[in-house]
Amino acid sequence: MQNNPLLSSWAGRFGEVPFDQIRTEHFRPAFDEALAEARRNLAALRDDPAKPDFENTVVRLETLTEKLDRCSGVFFNMVGAEADESMHALAREISPLMAEFGNDLSLDPKVFARIKAVYDSRSSLKLTPEQSMLLEKSYKSFVRNGAMLDEKDKARLRELDAERAKLKPMFSQNVLKATYARDFWVTSEADLAGIPESARDIAREAAKAKGRGSDWLFTLEAPSYIAVVTYSSRRSFREEMWRAFSSKALGGPNDNREILKRIAVLRHERARLLGYDTHAHYVLEERMARVPGTVQEFIDKLWKRSRPVAEKELSELQSLARRLDGITELKPWDVGYYMEKLKQEKFDLDDEALRPYFPLDRVVQGAFEHARRLYGLEFRQVEGVATYHPDVKVYQVMDSHDERFIGLFYTDFFPRNTKKGGAWMTQFRDQGLMGGEIRRPHVSIVCNFTPPAGGRPSLLTHDEVRTLFHEFGHALHGLLSDCTYRSVGGTNVYWDFVELPSQVMENWTEQKESLDLFARHFESGEGIPAELARKIRESSRFMAGWYCLRQLAFAELDLAWHSSDPSEIGDVEAFEERVLERTRVLPKEPGTATSPAFSHIFDGGYSAGYYSYKWAEVLDADAFEYFKEHGLFDREVAAKFRREILSKGGSEHPSELYRRFRGRDPDPEALIRRDFG
């Protein structure tokens, strides 16, 4: 295709993606050309008669797929954030092509021989720490992707990867379709009892969009669903929504059970083929935890501390439900509702009363102000940069000390039926070597926050504020990367370390000194009262046992799918019931399951790694104690965090980076102190 914008030079002032020029029909030809170029580059590397060295082999391998990386960076981000059925169909075509090329590269014996020759002579090469890490990562990537297998096993590996590449987009699309498969209509205002006005306004506008302006429409989108299960005093409505949400992609036309079981089986067979006991052993070889046993010990330790706390918390909820409404048996759809009631009783704190102090635009500016005070960054909104949706805003990020360009930052905050659920950070361009130059990154955060409604701006819950700061922490990790090579820069780190920069940022949202920078009433401009800020801080560990146990349940389920042979698993519900028995404090409800919509592990990158969230909480609790000891915005501590953590990416081992930041290994008791006192 002539003049394909995915293949031509991007002439914008930041070299940004020309979204206004890209059409769905551009992607397949662009991938075909980019793959062909990558294959030509691969052949040239394979047949190079020169003696292998770091530059002509390792660096060449690093830059071999630049055009392909650019195409896939746009396409797969769009599949998550702005995709219709034609894009999803393309994903089912393109994913296997990418997997096939990946195998052609990693299974090429001549290319591996070149990499191995450099790796074997590494002690005499006088490499920098980053170069050493790139070499080690490149070598291990070949070994871990079958380079040392015989031809028969290589052929089988290709089959496994091709099938996996087809199944992952199918899983993702089923979750998305299941999310929007159900509409929950309310025709009487009396049936809205308890639901906040902000959520009612959103539901009214959703109904208007479907031609029923006198009714209210609720969906399984996060803001809509959470509003019902947290506030609706109509117990039957909470149950209906909870059951629908908890059975997404479980049965019906979007059933994911056979797909996820097959994904698990393929992963296990692949790991065994490569010489590992299980998929978990394969994954954890490149994690701080190293082996499944360490993860299990970590889960067990937290389980022992959190289980009795969670049982006590549940007992409080049960007593409250009995006292207020005569409910003798608490159900899962009651937990969020009475949790909110209990929070109001204990702390005199209503999450809805906080919303007016968290207009989205002010919260975003608050995050930017934190980045300025901590790291000297300036975020300046720019016009004239094309985006893929009108909701998306773009910012130029500068170093305020020397006006150096740091990167481009995109934000995309509101739900729509072309976007998958959840919140994530991603990149359209990684920081590092590309086109012969060290390029600055183009970073994006994508969320599903409460949209504007009823003439009011988007007003966030405190949980949404925390989510924004979390994803912004990931963004800072990408933006502040200062590496030479893309594959070891930014967030390309061990996955049980990657959550440190994000989770540590959440801590600032609970501090009065931080809230004063952005928490202002959207109408009066009044700052958040000291009493409300105090209540936020005091309630920050409310139901800590319950929430910890919930995260451990996800981690335990993930580990169960991936630390043994899954081929014998028949009934997904029965399997989950057995695995989650010790982390369950309420009876299992029939007809519900987590796995069919567990995108983190079956579509995302967290398979055998969901424990990373809790693991990184140890790091973030310990790191934030360091900030508190010296001051929330202490420039010296912040400079060390930027220098040793944010700028280094994965260019060195995370344990070494953390020791240089903190002066010691992380204190495992920091999380216990923070959550349980």
Backbone angles phi, psi at 130, to 5 degrees: -70, -40
One-letter amino acid at 606 equals Y
Answer for the pair 593, 250: CB distance below 8 angstroms, yes or no: yes
Q: Which of 471, 499, 556, 617 is catalytic?
A: 471
Residue 93 to residue 90: CA distance in whole angstroms: 5
Residue 578 parent element (H or E)? helix 572-579
**E strand or H helix that includes residue 487:** none
Tell me which amino acid residue 137 is: K
Closest CA to 23 of 8, 40, 5, 36: 5
Query: Which DSSP letter does residue 8 get?
Result: S
**Strand 437-439, strand 424-429: pairing:** unpaired
Assess contact for 177 and 85: CB atoms under 8 A.
no
Contact 322, 316 (CB under 8 A): no
Q: Is 383 a catalytic residue?
A: no
CA 65/CA 42 separation, integer angstroms: 9
Residue type, 283: V
* Single-letter code of the amino acid located at 39: R
In this structure, the number of other CB atoms found within 10 A of the CB of residue 542 comes to 15
- Lookup result for tokens 């209540």: 535
Nearest alpha carbon to residue 59 among 43, 72, 45 = 45
> Could you write out the three-class secondary structure of 391-426?
CCEEEEEEECCCCEEEEEEEEECCCCCCCCCCCEEE
Query: Catalytic residue numbers?
Result: 471
